[in-house]
Amino acid sequence: MTERCDALLPRREMRMSASNHAALAGFLKRLLMRSHLSADEQDAVLSLKSQAFQVAARRDLVFPGQTVEYSCLVGDGLVGRFDQMRDGRRQITAFHIAGDMCDLHSVVAPTTGWGITALSTCLVYHVAHDDLRRAATSHPNLAMAFWRDTTVDASILAKWVANVGRKDAQSRIAHLMCEMGVRMERAGLASHVSYPLPVNQEQIGDAMGLTSVHVNRTLQSLKRSGAVSFQKHHVEIHDWDELVSIADFVPTFMLFDERRKNDAA
Amino acid sequence: MTERCDALLPRREMRMSASNHAALAGFLKRLLMRSHLSADEQDAVLSLKSQAFQVAARRDLVFPGQTVEYSCLVGDGLVGRFDQMRDGRRQITAFHIAGDMCDLHSVVAPTTGWGITALSTCLVYHVAHDDLRRAATSHPNLAMAFWRDTTVDASILAKWVANVGRKDAQSRIAHLMCEMGVRMERAGLASHVSYPLPVNQEQIGDAMGLTSVHVNRTLQSLKRSGAVSFQKHHVEIHDWDELVSIADFVPTFMLFDERRKNDAA
DNA sequence: CGTCTGATTGAGCGTAATCAAAGGTAGTGG
DNA sequence: CCACTACCTTTGATTACGCTCAATCAGACG
């Protein structure tokens, strides 16, 4: 397994010597959810070089507009993608859990339009674009898998636009709880009805286009309804069907269940 | 150039015989904005087979959750990607202009999470996934260009989340006007300060998470401020700097200006 | 000339924002 | 073990942006 240093460094990341099979295995697992990869292609993923960093909560990993030459693989914790307004207010546009390569996009667009921030204490790995590009070029099917992975991301993003644009606070937050539950379970990290979500109410607000005050009241009402409770960074879903109904949650957008008949021949 | 039939068929698309170099040239042009392609790769794009369809406004081309085996290239008109709520209300998540392959994503994820609809009368071309996949597999650098193209889309989507989540109606609509202006000009279709936008106020509302009534009042106030006017499906920007300021428009998110030093070697 | 779609205006209301302050809880250090 | 701090959560009071419902108006079209 991967060595790791649990010391939390407040304002700087710490470089670590890395034999991080576990993290890359998580990433491979994620790819395999939707893409069929040969043993050779899987090896190419597992043998990617990477560098581990222990990151404190609230530390920004990538700034909006920055040009990077690596992608960030989440090994542990919760990472957020965000956009920032002129006045400094932020909108979180995506949550990334362990196994997610949270800015795989930057391989083809190294000057990012968004920023990346650690929402909780995180273990993050940098994987060089050069290596990812080499892997993709020499394994066309792997390139497809990478592309597919970022497409899933885009599909979730589109759903967020719809949620923020057309749903009320209850439904938005319920939807987030459903989405993260399914993702956590699929990633093998927890049950879909009981999982850690290391964010505070302010951050939920930043993601759903609400203020922390309103998130608070909405969480209270969701709890009263008996559908879900969120306490101490942990989501407990008491009535999944009810929550799905409140959220109007239709998981198609996560693009699971592909029969994978469409890989490169 | 491409033959086309201007007859507008109300509820059914019409199949056309196609020698559609012009449309594919538009798509190629779009790819070349951000990717460097060899003559060989460019030929591969231009020689893609496609089938032309004349489509009436409001006609849905792809339904949410549908599995498709082709992508839709916009030849003329405005196409929208959308998500639909349980009660039928829609949220438009993207606008696509001529030259855009509006669901290139479906090449790697044929069961879409979103729908595609014609916002105006449109000329649309179907390009088979098999052909696109073949082109991508035999030209790794072209695969990167495709991937990059969908990444741009995702970046715009992230910006929309931020706009809808954190900005007021004025700023949202101003931002849309800026974005579409830049896109139209880059595509060589119009000036960034004066361009056609064949949608009604209802559709602007569906895109920005507002009602048509509120869009109406907001457009009026934008007009009063002297920044921009929208009449008869046409945007006139009178004060670009003012509009940019109202919108907090920072074009980085469109991922132009890549120095393209990061293409596959 | 009626029909249809889209734009416009008005009145009233509700969700969520803002402003302000009080509790909780965990961590730190004396 | 308590003081002190930092961060979060919770509550209250007030405000406003944008929604809903409803009616009117304008232009395009067959």
- What amino acid is encoded at A140 in this protein? P
What is the distance between the alpha carbons of residues A78 and A138, in angstroms, rounded to a whole number? 32
Q: Is the CB of B217 under 7 A from strand C?
A: yes
**Please, which pLDDT band fits residue A256 given cuts at 50, 70 and 90?**
confident
- Residues of A numbered 168-207 whose beta carbons fall under 8 angstroms of chain B's beta carbons: which are they? none
CA of A9 and C1' of D3: distance in angstroms?
Answer: 26
- What amino acid is encoded at A63 in this protein? F
Residues paired with A236 in a beta bridge: A194, A229
User: Which strands sit side by side in the sheet containing B228-231, from one edge to the other?
Assistant: B194-196, B234-237, B228-231
For residue range A49-94, what is the model confidence (pLDDT) as tens digits?
999 999 989 899 999 999 999 999 999 999 999 999 988 889 999 9
Tell me if residue A1 falls in helix, strand or coil: coil
Q: Is B113 on the interface with A (CB under 8 A)?
A: yes
| Host H or E run for residue B174 | helix B169-186
Nearest-Cα distance to chain A for B153, in Å, is: 8
DSSP B137: H
Ordered by start, the domain boundaries in chain B are: 6-157, 168-247
Q: pTM for the complete prediction?
A: 0.90
Q: Which nt has its C1' nearest the CA of B57?
A: C5
Residues of B in contact with A83 (CB under 8 A): 158-159, 161-162, 253
Neighbours of A250 (CB within 10 A): 18
Q: Is A93 on the interface with B (CB under 8 A)?
A: yes
| For residues B49-53, average pLDDT | 92
Q: Given a cut of 90, is residue B48 above it in pLDDT?
A: yes
Q: Which nt has its C1' nearest the CA of B8?
A: D29
Judge: domain B6-157, CATH 3.90.1300.10: no
Determine the residue among B147, B179, B208, B212 to mutate to test chain A binding: the one whose Cβ has the most chain A Cβ atoms within 10 Å. B147
For residue range A173-215, what is the model confidence (pLDDT) as tens digits?
999 999 999 999 999 999 999 999 999 999 999 999 999 999 9
Q: Is B258 close to A94, i.e. CB distance below 8 A?
A: no
The pLDDT value recorded for residue B235 is 95
Q: Given a cut of 50, is residue A265 above it in pLDDT?
A: no
CA of B61 and C1' of D27: distance in angstroms?
Answer: 29
Question: For A18, what's the count of Cα atoms within 13 Å in the CB-facing half-sphere?
Answer: 22
CA of A159 and C1' of C8: distance in angstroms?
Answer: 32
Tell me if residue A116 falls in helix, strand or coil: strand
How much is the mean pLDDT over chain A?
88
Closest CA to B102 of B13, B26, B15: B26
Q: Given a cut of 50, is residue A13 above it in pLDDT?
A: no
- What amino acid is encoded at B139 in this protein? H
Tell me if residue B233 falls in helix, strand or coil: coil
Q: Taking the domain A168-247, which CATH number applies?
A: 1.10.10.10
Percent of chain A with pLDDT over 90: 82
